[in-house]
Structure 1
Amino acid sequence: MANRLEHSLSPYLRQHADNPVDWREWGDGAFAEARRRDVPILLSVGYAACHWCHVMAHESFEDAQVAEAINASYVAVKVDREERPDIDAVYMQATVALTGQGGWPMTCLLTPAGEPFFAGTYLPKPQLLRLLDMAGTTWQERRDDVLASGNHIVSRLREAAAPTTSQAYDDAALSDAVTRLQREFDWQYGGFGGAPKFPPSMVLEFLIRHNARTGDESALRMAQETCDAMACSGMYDQLDGGFARYSVDRSWTVPHFEKMLYDNAQLMRVYAHLWRLTGSALARRIASETADFVLRRLTTDQGGLASALDADTDGVEGATYAWTPDQLVDVLGDEDGQRAAELLSVTPTGTFEHGASTLQLQTDPDDAQWWDGIRRRLLIARDARPQPARDDKVVTSWNGIAIAGLVDVGMLLQRPDLVAAARTCADHVLAAHLRDGRLRRASLDGAVSASVGVADDYGNLAEGLLLLHQVDSDSRWLEAATGLLDTALDVFSTDDGGFFDTAADAEPLFTRPRNPGDNAEPAGQSALAMALVSAAALTGEQRYREAAERAVAASAGVVRRDPRFGGWSLAGAEALLAGPLQVAVAAPTADDALVRASWLSPSPGLVRASGESAGGVPLMAGREAREGRPTAYVCRGFVCDAPTTDVEDVIRTLGVRITG
């Protein structure tokens, strides 16, 4: 049997290279083979850090009996959802439609034409074997029924992809979204809904922006209580920084241990913005530590950022992270070990599995110096344990989110090292992933994937580049970002003002994927909308603002159904209502207070530029220093207030709350 996955770019596919299942990558060859053999396709979709993907692999795909059943009657196709989000999107839509829920691993049976007639998620070995047997028999004996079922499913999914109802957002609509979020808010533990509980990053950003614009205390309370609860919980790595993917329980105690770049990139920015709004010392610490985690654990040799750390260590979930009281004593000694156990909620019975506990830090210790030493010693001991694998794949979209997060945290917390890392990351992604003006989705060890970029790749990378431009007013970042947005407007636009996930010239699937709602990361539509808002404010190009308004309005249906899945569109709507607010600082000095004030303003959607002259930067055109002193121009739609050299005047005008 040929080993077809051994040289795949995807680490996830490589994990399955030695399976007895005769896996193929997605492509024409797999479908041609299914037609030649006259058999269905077994499609398995997952990702490298996925715990239940590993479980199903060990139970079934490494099992000779299962492999024999698959190889005899199916063509087996393995897909990395992170490299091919388009494939994942259309078949996840089918899975949710057929079962009412989704998740990974995703398991689908397809006709040789690619039409799904069965869809599910994790299947234990006995259930998978029964499915393979029954579906194989049905394919042979009731072929017409199978084909009709697949055709019906595809027809219904195409109908569901019809244009959406658009509605522009006004203040009342955004206030209503806050009210509806209150109904789903967990007032005991923070967050929304019950278990499992995910970090609602984009909703938190919306709530922070809404409070900054309106002063709505309920919005700020939901954001702050959620951020505080997550930061003190087992969801947050109290030793190394960074957040796990989600909590399996309502109280954030037990995480699902994989640590994803996109979660941490979004959350570092949320916590930095919360600090900017409230001065919370906890928020400041978490933002800084999360950024440190990202750079320390996820930076690749080429300067990009890897996708994730695995949930499992040597096949055991959480083995690297959980502790018993005796283990703490072994590392710290009796007195410090017992004190640390009490501080970190490590109990004799355990809060996780097998008597072990996750680490929680409900209150900061009185003795910060003691805690720093304890934390350092525990981390050294933990680093000596077997470690989870890292998915080294560099995903364009997630690196774009990380660039934005690193810039914001770096500028707000005065960490130039973070801004420098963002520049390095941006240079790498543009050099490796931008080919002939079009983005590729991912790379590994500097080798770029053939998979083309999707809408969120363009939107999130453009957003990150636009924030970099605001640091140094380097026109190359602005030119790269607007080039990406111009391409996106050309190849992703829909008739109703939104955006498809895939380009018009991308590989055709049974339906062209389009998701107007956010999930764990911004949807392509909202990612592009947010970048377009910033681009419009920085360039004065009305076509960008109009496109942003249309894209935000096209998400109205999702927001009306459940605002938890419209957080990034809502955050974009806040920026549209508050702006465009622009700040230009002419002839700034090092550590200039006027520039600092522009970053400390919580006004949603504010953009800034600084420098000596125009130099291709629209906001700086005609902005001159007065009397040889740094001078600020505060503008709304390029109509500016009188220039000022008075920092206190700028602080008042921009609504700066934290001046440190």
Structure 2
Amino acid sequence: MPEGCRACLIAFLLPPVPFGGPKPFPGGDAEYCRMSDASDDRTRVEWREWGSDAFADARERGVPLLVSVVATWSESCRAMAQRTYAEPRIAANINDDFVPVRVNAARRPRVRERYNMGGFPSTVFVTPDGEHIAGATFLEPDGFRQVLQRVRETWDDAGADAGSVPRALSGGEPPAAPLSGDIEGLVAGQLADQYDSEHAGWGSSEKFPLPETVSFALKRDRDRALRTLDAIRRHLVGDDGGCFRFAHGRDWSDPQTERTLSVNAGMLAAFAHAYLTTGDDEYRGAATGVLDYLTETLWTGAAFGAGETPDGGVDDAAYADGNALAADALLSLAAYTGDDRATRYAERTLDYIADELLVDDTVRHYAGAAAPVGLLADRARVTGALTTAGQVLDPAYLEPARAVADRAIADLQDDTGAFVDGPETGAGLLDEPLRPIDDTAAMADALVDLSYLTGEARYRDAARDAIAAFAGAAERMGVQVAGYATAAARLSTRPLVIRVADDPGSELHRAALRMADHEKVVAVGVDGDPGTAWLDTADGDTDAVATPSALAALVADTAQ
């Protein structure tokens, strides 16, 4: 059975899977992978590009569209192209009775989120208005023939009325509630409830690395976090230091051997945070191993590629969100260890983003005229990377961070307080608002940093509104939304904030960055007595100190 099929249940003529919540595959979900072509050489289907022309053609012909959402790393995508779409009779039936559209999941993330059936390939039949008729993931030829027949019959009977809009896109507002400290506690409780005490990690079937969950757990359930990191090191990290996307077995066996930039950037940060927390060189070594993989395998010469296929092919497409996530992780390692290589590659990645992807205070998804502009995921991750750079490298990075954040708030934060995933324009259901909790949380977390670094409460207010928009669902949240819980915690309880009246890279600045709390905020180059540092607390500023040891003692005393 090809990769992905074990979780592939046909959703034919059933309500579409929920959209806008945690991704079906938390560790990667193909956001950083690219199809090199719009078709496969062995495929006789006359694939069209996603866009208004394809939908207009379907409307004119009076037929549905077949939308195939694919990822380059997916063996199932290749298998379906080679076995199912290459079958001449199937291809002829598709070309005659449908308008076939193939979509690169990484290049068009807003399409992916609206038409993802829980895995790749996602095989979705839609009306000329973009509404769902039926959907599945991988299908063998015999099963696909049956689906084609049933969709044709349904279309002949009901026409456009056969379609439906997913609940998350049907105009309903997110489950808002007042923000409180309960969110952190509720999700922290799930760290124990969903934990696999026998094999480590969370879940009872496939095991994903879940780097944001590990990072959240390091402060709230350290033992389980470290046991999970140890399992990941043993089972999912290859000889070259790179981390596989997930394991099919509950015991971390049978790893799926593609690697994505998102997973590896997340794991670099998680291993670095574990080193900061424990001082254990094993975790520093694991972080350095991921650094080796990123710089020796995924580095294109200008930025990081999207990932690597199981057979070793590297996808050199450089996406904004993935590269920003990588830069952020590299800066964490550099801050905790002084690793020059991590610093150098972080700076080069940020230069690439600034030179190629920042456009009029917003972000282009990848370099090219056809790239989507203004996606929430890109803006959130770029804002986060720039605010981290403002703490680790130079406060000058805060100016572009503010510009991107201001434009994102103006463009994407709606009346509910949540952020929509991008401009509400485009073919299919792209003109319908989608409010993704994970990307909203990433933006909120960056805004918390920006508020303390700039002294502007409006950023914290925007973050609070965004997190409160989903707070009514807190009791139903699992460990996969730990990023949301992290942002909620930092809004409900003031994080550790250290202000340093000294130059970036000074001994006192380095000491501040190495205080053992990866959720802290470090403002460097601020006004004050030169060569001093102090804590900015809810009760006001503490007395200033002038040495790393005095700063460590001050942090310890304040934490008691």
TM-score normalised according to structure 2 size: 0.88
Letter in 2 for 1:147: A
Q: Which runs of 5+ in 1 are unaligned?
A: 1-8, 96-101, 211-218, 314-387, 518-522, 612-619
Letter in 1 for 2:523: A
The yes-or-no answer on 1:289 pairing with 2:289 is yes
Return the alpha-carbon distance in structure 1 between the equivalents of residues 478 and 314 of structure 2: 33
Task: Give the match's secondary structure for 1:538.
Answer: helix
Map of 1:508-657 to 2, 5 A cutoff?
509=429, 512-517=432-437, 523-588=438-503, 592-603=506-517, 605-611=519-525, 620=526, 622-625=527-530, 630-636=531-537, 639-655=540-556
Whether the 8 Å CA contact 2:276–2:517 is kept in 1: the answer is no
Letter in 1 for 2:39: H
Aligned counterpart in structure 1 of residue 372 of structure 2, from 451, 454, 469? 451
Task: Give the match's secondary structure for 1:16.
Answer: coil
Q: How far did residue 122 of structure 1 move?
A: 0.9
In the alignment, what sits opposite 1:229? 231
In the alignment, what sits opposite 2:352? 428
Q: Could you report, residue by residue, the CA deviation over 1:239-268 in whole angstroms, capped at 9, with x for unpaired residues?
A: 100111110001112211110100110111
Q: How far did residue 109 of structure 1 move?
A: 0.7
Map of 1:269-308 to 2, 5 A cutoff?
269-301=269-301, 303-308=302-307
Map of 1:263-342 to 2, 5 A cutoff?
263-301=263-301, 303-311=302-310, 313=311
Q: How far did residue 148 of structure 1 move?
A: 2.1
Specify whether residues 35 and 176 from structure 1 end up closer, same or farther in structure 2 by C-alpha distance, changes over 3 A only.
closer
Q: Which runs of 5+ in 2 are unaligned?
A: 1-31
Whether the 8 Å CA contact 1:12–1:48 is kept in 2: the answer is yes
In the alignment, what sits opposite 2:67? 43
In the alignment, what sits opposite 1:195? 205
Map of 1:100-179 to 2, 5 A cutoff?
102-139=118-155, 141-142=156-157, 145-150=158-163, 153-154=164-165, 156-159=167-170, 161-170=172-181, 172-179=182-189
Return the alpha-carbon distance in structure 1 between the equivalents of residues 323 and 315 of structure 2: 14
Whether the 8 Å CA contact 1:41–1:111 is kept in 2: the answer is yes
Q: Identity percentage over the alignment? A: 27
In the alignment, what sits opposite 1:462? 383
Q: How far did residue 293 of structure 1 move?
A: 0.8
Specify whether residues 289 and 10 from structure 1 end up closer, same or farther in structure 2 by C-alpha distance, changes over 3 A only.
closer
Q: Could you report, residue by residue, the CA deviation over 1:154-206 in whole angstroms, capped at 9, with x for unpaired residues?
A: 27554474232223131x44233222321110011111112211112111111
Return the alpha-carbon distance in structure 2 between the equivalents of residues 155 and 411 of structure 1: 43
The size of the alignment, in residue pairs, is 525
Q: Could you report, residue by residue, the CA deviation over 1:200-227 in whole angstroms, capped at 9, with x for unpaired residues?
A: 21111111233xxxxxxxx111111111
TM-score normalised according to structure 1 size: 0.75
Whether the 8 Å CA contact 1:396–1:433 is kept in 2: the answer is yes
In the alignment, what sits opposite 2:5? none
Specify whether residues 511 and 155 from structure 1 end up closer, same or farther in structure 2 by C-alpha distance, changes over 3 A only.
farther
Q: Could you report, residue by residue, the CA deviation over 1:605-640 in whole angstroms, capped at 9, with x for unpaired residues?
A: 3222334xxxxxxxx1x2232xxxx32233237942
The yes-or-no answer on 1:22 pairing with 2:46 is yes
Specify whether residues 137 and 484 from structure 1 end up closer, same or farther in structure 2 by C-alpha distance, changes over 3 A only.
same
Letter in 2 for 1:110: V
Return the alpha-carbon distance in structure 2 between the equivalents of residues 403 and 134 of structure 1: 48
Map of 1:395-410 to 2, 5 A cutoff?
395-410=319-334
Map of 1:359-438 to 2, 5 A cutoff?
388-438=312-362
Whether the 8 Å CA contact 1:43–1:108 is kept in 2: the answer is yes
In the alignment, what sits opposite 1:12? 35
In the alignment, what sits opposite 1:487? 407
Return the alpha-carbon distance in structure 2 between the equivalents of residues 13 and 116 of structure 1: 27
The yes-or-no answer on 1:85 pairing with 2:112 is no
Whether the 8 Å CA contact 1:66–1:129 is kept in 2: the answer is yes
Whether the 8 Å CA contact 2:229–2:271 is kept in 1: the answer is yes
Give the number of the structure whose alpha-carbon radius of gyration is greater.
1
Task: Give the match's secondary structure for 2:523.
Answer: strand
Task: Give the match's secondary structure for 1:23.
Answer: coil
Letter in 2 for 1:469: G
Q: Could you report, residue by residue, the CA deviation over 1:25-45 in whole angstroms, capped at 9, with x for unpaired residues?
A: 111111121122222111000
Specify whether residues 167 and 207 from structure 1 end up closer, same or farther in structure 2 by C-alpha distance, changes over 3 A only.
farther
Larger displacement relative to structure 2 (490-499 or 528-537): 490-499
Q: How far did residue 403 of structure 1 move?
A: 0.8
Return the alpha-carbon distance in structure 1 between the equivalents of residues 196 and 33 of structure 2: 38
In the alignment, what sits opposite 1:245? 245
Letter in 2 for 1:527: A
Return the alpha-carbon distance in structure 1 between the equivalents of residues 295 and 472 of structure 2: 38
Task: Give the match's secondary structure for 1:426.
Answer: helix
- What is the alpha-carbon root mean square deviation over aligned residues? 2.3
Q: Could you report, residue by residue, the CA deviation over 1:482-529 in whole angstroms, capped at 9, with x for unpaired residues?
A: 111111111111222111112356667266343444xxxxx2211111
Letter in 2 for 1:466: T
In the alignment, what sits opposite 1:183? 193
The yes-or-no answer on 1:471 pairing with 2:392 is yes
Q: How far did residue 588 of structure 1 move?
A: 4.4
Specify whether residues 654 and 504 from structure 1 end up closer, same or farther in structure 2 by C-alpha distance, changes over 3 A only.
farther
Specify whether residues 531 and 10 from structure 1 end up closer, same or farther in structure 2 by C-alpha distance, changes over 3 A only.
closer
Return the alpha-carbon distance in structure 2 between the equivalents of residues 513 and 454 of structure 1: 12
Task: Give the match's secondary structure for 1:168.
Answer: coil
Letter in 2 for 1:582: V
Task: Give the match's secondary structure for 1:568.
Answer: helix
Return the alpha-carbon distance in structure 2 between the equivalents of residues 636 and 608 of structure 1: 13
Return the alpha-carbon distance in structure 2 between the equivalents of residues 183 and 642 of structure 1: 42
Return the alpha-carbon distance in structure 2 between the equivalents of residues 651 and 494 of structure 1: 42
Return the alpha-carbon distance in structure 1 between the equivalents of residues 129 and 348 of structure 2: 43
Return the alpha-carbon distance in structure 2 between the equivalents of residues 47 and 453 of structure 1: 22
Whether the 8 Å CA contact 1:582–1:606 is kept in 2: the answer is yes
Q: Which has the higher contact order (CA 8 A, sep 6+)?
A: 2
Q: Could you report, residue by residue, the CA deviation over 1:269-313 in whole angstroms, capped at 9, with x for unpaired residues?
A: 111111111122221111111122111111113x211111013x2
Larger displacement relative to structure 2 (10-19 or 562-571): 10-19
Return the alpha-carbon distance in structure 1 between the equivalents of residues 474 and 269 of structure 2: 23
Task: Give the match's secondary structure for 2:48.
Answer: strand
Whether the 8 Å CA contact 1:538–1:607 is kept in 2: the answer is yes
